Chain A
Amino acid sequence: MLIQLAGSFVAVIALVALAAWAKIARPMVRLDADRARDLLGEEFPGKPLDDLWVATDGRGALARSGAWALILSEVGDGYVARHIAWDQALAASYCDGVLRIDLADVAAPRAHLALAVWPPQAVR
């Protein structure tokens, strides 16, 4: 049993190394407004976007949809999406150009977005 487990462990390491060497993850490009809108449209069908802020490093976005803030952040070669109350997004901690949003979700506790300014001027 121990030999089997050790063998499996070695096989796991070898396969992960092979996957890393192959470089066949999805190609990731910096998000722009159009791509962010497309992704948010897929994640939140039927929710209109009133306003959109794309992260300065292109690794996430935040949109306002009525009383909701729709959040998109990069993980690996994909994205994680959540929505929270807009007021909660406005009150999120902003320091050194990074917005730290508490998502209150065990599966994704926080999101970090690099934004030039927060809260947005128009809603201050």
Chain B
Amino acid sequence: MDPLHAPFEPVTLAIPFFVLTIILEIGLARFTTVRANYEPRDTLASLAMGLGSNVAGLITGGLAFAATVWVWQHRAFDIPMTAIWAWVLLFFLEDLTYYAFHRLSHERRFWWAAHVNHHSSQHYNLSTALRQTWTGGLAGTWALWLPLAFLGFPPAMLAIQKGVSLVYQFWIHTEAIGRMPRWFEAVFNTPSHHRVHHARNPRYLDSNYAGILIIWDRMFGTFVPELDAEKPRYGIVKNLNNFNILRVAFHEWAGIAKDLAGARSPGEVACYLFGPPGWSPDGSRETSASLKAQWAASQQPPTPPQPGTRS
């Protein structure tokens, strides 16, 4: 096998599957009691983002691929594409890399700006899965996969495994599936786990970053289970007020630019760029941490008056 050219592209092969399952989900919601909501303008925004993402990938994908090839040419080990052990090892390492990428993309604003569009729908259906980034290549998160190339995994292997991960994550963007068998929920990312990830309820913020395996969230303390008593509310903390795809794609970048223009010190510049989303110098904006704290405080029962004190 050619280490530089993948013999197939999992995402391209899966496109007919994407289309057919969206048709199925809409049909089931229309004619049965299966839960799925599609707002046409929201659906158009999601699918247009997916289409635009392919075009954006053509522009920035070349740089990422060239960097991957260059690093692989300076690799530490020779890893054969034909060895089963190599694919098994790559499956775990790529999925761990995805976890790191995804966590970074939520917890630091510069990378959140490239990822936020995926969360900007107030719906959670299979079309939401295709609401992909236009600016991920510019944000440079592809660099997180370079250590795998340095280890010796050929660029073609990396491309295939990244594609497999993306295809896997398509089917979990649905409310039509409740919960999978317990053993599956324990090991794999599922619709239930990923609904939590897309929720903006304070309880669920910044959790379940998994790609294929949910074990990473369990290991690193970011796992939050879906509660029947608290249905996820989807979208972002500050939702968009229309379906304009340019706003979907670029609103956080525009917000960063506006903040940088008003920054008063290098420290503020750094924090506006690389602090948590919602960071502000005076703390007047809300971060995930402050929202969780407000919510936790609102859940506390009122403290009864202590004996001997006035009420």
Contacts and interface: CB of A to CB of B under 8 A. Distances in A.
A106 B251 contact: yes
Interface string B100-135: 000000000000000000000010000100000000
Contacts of A5: 51, 54-55
Contacts of A23: 30
A46 B51 CA distance: 41
A77 interface: yes
A84 B23 CA distance: 41
A22 B30 contact: yes
Contact of A26 (B37, B251, B295): B37
A107 B247 contact: yes
A18 B295 CA distance: 39
- Residue among B27, B39, B254, B255 with max Cβ neighbours from chain A (10 Å): B39
B19 A105 contact: no
B294 A45 contact: yes
Contacts of B254: 106
Contact of B122 (A22, A78, A108): A78
A18 to B, nearest CB: 6
Contacts, number: 117
Interface string B159-180: 0000000000000000000000
A19 B26 contact: yes
B295 A80 contact: no
Given A18-B23, A25-B37, 13 more contacts: A1-B58, A8-B51, A12-B50, A18-B26, A22-B30, A24-B30, A26-B39, A46-B295, A75-B241, A75-B242, A76-B39, A78-B122, A107-B252
* B19, B38, B54, most chain A CB atoms within 10 A: B38
Interface string B245-289: 001000110110010000000000000000000000000000000
B23 A15 contact: yes
A12 B202 CA distance: 33
A76 B243 contact: yes
A24 B233 CA distance: 17
Nearest to B233: A42
